[in-house]
Structure 1
Amino acid sequence: MTKKKTLGIDSKNPSENHVILELIQYNDKDYGMQADIPVDELLTQFKSDHVNWINVDGLHDKSIVSKLGEHFCLHSLLVEDILSEHTPKAEEFDDHLFFTMKMLYSIKNGKIDYEQISFVLGKDFLLSFQEKEGDLFGPLRDRIKHSSGRVRTRKADYLLYRLIDVIVDNYYSVLDAVGQQIETVEDDIYKNPTDKEFQKIQKIKKELIYLRKALYPLRDALSKLTKDESGFIDQANYRYFADVYDHVVHLIDSLDTYKDLTSSLMDIHINTQNTRMNEVMKVLTVISTIFMPLTFIAGVYGMNFDNLPELHTRYGYPAVMIFMALIVFGMIRYFKYKKWF
């Protein structure tokens, strides 16, 4: 049985283990935000007539997650899923809906920078749990603050959609970066294929494998949300989750295309290397073939026999050299006629 990887950084530096709690509360008329407040104080600020978004940055202090779990009556297995690395999934409980996925940022040094993010959706609240500080939701927070768009007029399920949509939109940026890497490697292969290009292709294949593991389960999880019958998702918002589902399907299609391109790049690299080797072998073969008759002539006249009339003639040496030159010239003309080089 594979042991689950526990999330969070165990650092000797207390500042790196600091957990930031953020509470955003809003409805169509009111807005409030509190950041970096103790969990006990945060729970007393809960407003039932508002959408309450509690965002947790950092999973180092398990006691904070446990307190939130006790307050919102979260199942122990759900809390364990929040604190452990998981493939994307959606799971329904009696009083809430659990959703987890990977939040991708960028590609650095051939590796995808990512973190796991988990959501717990209730009737009038949304909990989000992130591994580390910083996310992609800055513009969405501003829209909520300034009442831009329809998010302030909708419930918590619409907020969940907007957060998932922001994450999925950034998948396009990451996938585009992979596509640019593929184009760069392809150009390098045609110019001067080396082992470095082979290593780059291997790195890209690893990135695509990770994206595949993130996208395929996400598609299934979103499909489950679009068919939700528990009442956590308003029927009016089904189309929004279906739209995100369509985006993920499109991403998977692009991913499969890039996977095929990567396989083609591998074949192109191998074929190009073989072609270059064949060209080298062709040149060496032509040179060896040209020197075969010359070596034979040199060997004949290099024998230590007295009865070789050409050795004692005045023009024997220049005649042999001219004859050898004619052989070289004739063979080169013949090879060119045959288009062997």
Structure 2
Amino acid sequence: MSRNRLYRAGRLAEEDFPVTDIPRLLRDEGAVVWLDLCGPSESDMAAISDLLGLHATSVEDALGSHERPKLHQYDTHLLVNAYAVALDEASGRLTTAEVSAFVTPRALVTVRNDEKFDIDALVRRWDESSDLAASGVGFLLHGLLDLVVDSHFDAVQALDDHIEGLEDLVFTESPNDPDMQRRALAMRKSLVTLRRVVLPMREVVNGLMRRDHSVVDSRMAPYYQDVYDHVLRASEWTESLRDMVATIRDIQLNLQGNRLNLIMKKVTGWAAIIAVPTAVTGFYGQNVPYPGFNEVWGFWTSTVAMLLLSAGLYSLFKHRDWI
């Protein structure tokens, strides 16, 4: 499946034309072409490579999956690899959508392995800022990067809300609830995934803003700078959330240890109280004569001694908050 657009003199001139027309259309010096390929085969990519002169290793990277976000420069083009992300509010799991982009002086080719990446949202973003279309490929690439970085920012904000909910659950009566532990684990996994796709974007956007690439003109420079600022904010926010999740886990373990110590203290206190009558009855259970042996008053004396000693220990432990 493929979609395409032709911009001429900063205006949308044509859509969904035959791919074989691209060489003819690019003969016009004022023409800029966008081509999107979803799930292309090797033969499809070979045809596009022949049309635009793409390097073999860049085509191999675009067809592969799980590539890291990156910017590679070749003689005739650039290769940009990035990931849009989305957070499942119910489970807290993060899903990624990989997209690769070949950037030539007058053509942008986006390659997706599946339908996860919302290409319609990208087209809408271009239409909303059509007044910048005169900047050509720089305009098209900005829309792509802006969409990707905005998805990072939305995911970070949603994760922040989830983590605040976890903070409240830490101090409940059951901080070791299995559901909470599953949510905390999902948050950690999502943050690890988000960190992998967010942090390298700093190098990607910063590299595109270099003048030797000639992708960003003076008109688009402020917009790329805005995207770069968003990348930095998302990166810093991701790092802070990572530390926050680790802190929540540490607090949870500390509270668990404190509760265990409190329980052990109470159990030890009651064990000491129970040891008193055990010691008294054990003493009077010896098979030798003792004061009060075979006498009623001896039984009552031992009973009173057990009650008084137990009550004294209970009062002492209660006063020291041991039970």
User: Which TM bucket (shorter chain)?
Assistant: 0.7 to 0.9
Question: Superposition RMSD on alpha carbons, in Å?
Answer: 2.5
Matches within 5 A, 1:250-289: 250-289=233-272
| Gapped regions of structure 2 (runs ≥ 5) | none
CA spacing shift, 1:144–1:268, aligned 2, 3 Å: closer
For each residue in 1:115-158, what CA deviation from the matched residue of structure 2 results, as whole angstroms up to 9, or x when unmatched?
A: 2211112232211111212533434423545x655244431211
2:94 and 2:287 map into 1 onto residues whose CA distance is 74
Name the aligned partner's letter for residue 64 of structure 1.
D
- Which of 119, 129, 132 is the aligned partner of 2:111? 129
1:293-304 aligned at under 5 Å gives the runs 293-304=276-287
**Matched letter for residue 327 of structure 1:** L
From the superposition, tell whether residues 174 and 216 of structure 1 become closer, same or farther in structure 2 (CA, over 3 Å). same
Counterpart check, 1:163 vs 2:138: no
Residues 198, 266 of structure 1: 8 Å contact kept:
no
Task: Specify the SS of the correspondent of 2:216.
Answer: coil
Equivalent residue, structure 1, for 2:217? 234
Specify whether residues 44 and 102 from structure 1 end up closer, same or farther in structure 2 by C-alpha distance, changes over 3 A only: same
Distance 1:298 1:180, change over 3 A: same
**Is 1:105 the counterpart of 2:86 in the alignment?**
yes
Are the equivalent residues in 2 in contact too, given 1:120–1:127 (CA < 8 A)?
yes
The percent identity for this pair of structures is 24
Q: How far, CA to CA, are the matches of 2:32 and 2:3 in structure 1?
A: 13
Q: Find the partner of 1:190 among 171, 174, 188.
A: 171
Kept after mapping to 1: 8 A contact 2:91/2:186: no
The one-character-per-residue Cα deviations of 1:3-38 (angstroms, maximum 9, x if unpaired) are xxxxxxxxxxxxxxxxx100122344544322xx87
1:21 matched residue in structure 2: 2
Paired residue total: 316
Give the residue type in structure 1 aligned to 2:242: K
Please, which runs of 5 or more residues in structure 1 have no aligned partner? Answer: 1-19
Q: Cα deviations across residues 76-113 of structure 1 (Å, max 9, x unaligned)?
A: 11111111232112223333222111121234745421
Q: 1:3 maps to what in 2?
A: none
- Seen in structure 2, the aligned counterparts of structure 1 residues 277 and 45 have a Cα distance that, compared at 3 Å, is farther
- Give the TM-score, by structure 1 length: 0.83
Superimposed CA distance per residue, residues 295-340 of structure 1 (whole angstroms, 9 cap, x where no aligned partner): 11010122233x2342433344344323322212111111233333
TM-score (norm 2): 0.87
The correspondence for 1:247, drawn from 206, 226, 230, is: 230
Going from structure 1 to structure 2, the CA distance change for 1:26 and 1:44 (only over 3 Å counts) comes to: same
Look up the equivalent residue of 2:110 and give its one-letter code: S
